[in-house]
Amino acid sequence: MTSEIVVVPHTHWDREWYEPHDVFRLRLVHMLDRLIGILEAEPEYRFTLDGQAAAIEDYLEMRPDMRDRVVALVEREQLSVGPFLILLDEFGCDGETIIRNLELGRAASARLGRTMPVGYLPDMFGHAAQMPQILSGFGIRHSALWRGVPADIAEHAFSWVAPNGDAVRCEYLFDGYGNGLDMFALPGQLPELAPDYAARTASWYGDDPVLAMLGTDHSAPPEDLAEVIRDYDAGGREPHLSIATLDGHLARYATDAATLAALPQVHGEMRSHARGNLLPGVFSIRTNLKREMARSEQALTAAERLDLMYGTRDHRSFFDTAWYRIVESTAHDSVTGCGVDATAEQVGTRIHTAGHIARGVIDTVLRDVSAAVSPAQHLVFNPSGFARRAQVEVTLHGVDAGSLSAGVQLLDPLTTVLGDERMRTADLPKILRRIHGRELFGQQINGYEWGERSLRFQVAESPQGVWDLATFTVELEGRVAADAAGDDVWHVETIADPRHRALLAVDVDGLALAAVGETTAPSSADAVTVTSGSLSNGALTATVNADGTVRIDGADGSSIDGALALVDDGDCGDSYNYGPADAASAVSAPSSVEVTVLEEGPLRGRIRIRRVYDLPERLDADRRRSTATVPLVTETTIELREGEGFLRVGIDYVNTASDHRLRVLVPVDGAGLDSSRSAGQYGTTVRGREAEGGWGEFPLPTYPAYRFAAAGSTAVLVQKLSEYELVSTADAPDALAVTLSRSVGMMSVNVHPLRDEPAGSEIPVPGAQYLGVAVHTDLAILVGADDATAVRAADLFRHDPLVVRGSGEADGPLPEAAFPVRLSGDVVLESARRVGTEAELRFVNYLTEERELAFTSPGDWARVDLAGEVQDGAFDAAAARAVGGGMLSIRRAID
The Cα 744–Cα 741 span in angstroms is 10
Q: Amino acid letter at 64?
A: P
Per-residue pLDDT, 402: 80
Flag whether pLDDT at 524 surpasses 90. Answer: no
Per-residue pLDDT, 235: 81
Residue 219 binned pLDDT confidence (cut-offs 50, 70, 90) = confident
Give the residue-averaged pLDDT of 242-254. Answer: 97
- Alpha helices (H) along 741-799: 787-798
Do 705 and 722 meet the contact criterion of CB atoms below 8 Å apart?
A: yes
Q: Is the peptide bond before 83 cis (omega within 30 degrees of 0)?
A: yes
Q: Amino acid letter at 3?
A: S
Q: What is the pLDDT of residues 630-653, one digit of tens each?
A: 999 999 999 999 999 999 999 999
Give the residue-averaged pLDDT of 109-134. Answer: 97
The Cα 139–Cα 868 span in angstroms is 11
Residue 189 binned pLDDT confidence (cut-offs 50, 70, 90) = very high
Give the residue-averaged pLDDT of 21-37. Answer: 96
Per-residue pLDDT, 525: 87
The H-or-E segment that residue 494 falls in is strand 489-496
Residue 188 binned pLDDT confidence (cut-offs 50, 70, 90) = confident
Flag whether pLDDT at 709 surpasses 80. Answer: yes
* 339 phi and psi angles, rounded to 5 deg: -105, -170
pTM (2 decimals)?
Answer: 0.95
**How do beta strands 79-80 and 47-48 pair?**
parallel
Which residue, among 854, 762, 876, 521, has the nearest Cα to 18 in the 3D structure? 762
The Cα 338–Cα 334 span in angstroms is 7
End-to-end CA distance of the chain: 62
Residue-wise DSSP of 23-48: HHHHHHHHHHHHHHHHHHH-TT--EE
Flag whether pLDDT at 730 surpasses 90. Answer: no
Per-residue pLDDT, 108: 97
Nearest 10 degrees: CA dihedral of 291, 297, 302, 307? 140
Residue 352 binned pLDDT confidence (cut-offs 50, 70, 90) = very high
Burial of 857 (0-12, 13-18, 19+ CB in 10 A): middle
Do 729 and 735 meet the contact criterion of CB atoms below 8 Å apart?
A: yes
Angle separating helix axes 225-234 and 190-200, nearest 10 degrees:
80
In sequence order, the 6+-apart residues with CB closer than 8 A to the CB of 531 are: none
Per-residue pLDDT, 1: 62
* CA distance readout (Å), 393 to 214, 307, 356, 396, 517: 58, 22, 21, 10, 12
Give the residue-averaged pLDDT of 765-792. Answer: 97
Q: Amino acid letter at 245?
A: T
Per-residue pLDDT, 731: 66
The Cα 794–Cα 236 span in angstroms is 63
Give the residue-averaged pLDDT of 660-684. Answer: 96
Flag whether pLDDT at 373 surpasses 80. Answer: yes
Flag whether pLDDT at 428 surpasses 90. Answer: yes
Which residue, among 232, 242, 215, has the nearest Cα to 44 in the 3D structure? 242
Per-residue pLDDT, 431: 96
The Cα 125–Cα 244 span in angstroms is 26
Q: What is the pLDDT of residues 39-66, one digit of tens each?
A: 999 999 999 999 999 999 999 999 999 9
Which residue, among 594, 593, 600, has the nearest Cα to 531 in the 3D structure? 600
Burial 257-281 (b: 16+ CB within 10 A, else e): eeebeebeebebbbbbbbbbbbbbb
Question: What share of the chain in percent tops pLDDT 90?
Answer: 92
The H-or-E segment that residue 838 falls in is strand 838-844
In sequence order, the β-bridge partners of residue 493 are 420, 456
Per-residue pLDDT, 397: 85
Give the residue-averaged pLDDT of 390-419. Answer: 90
To the nearest whole number, what is the mean pLDDT of the chain? 95
In sequence order, the 6+-apart residues with CB closer than 8 A to the CB of 255 are: 141, 142, 168, 169
If you count them, how many residues does the chain have? 895
Helix, strand, coil percentages in the chain from 3-state DSSP, rounded to 5: 25, 35, 40
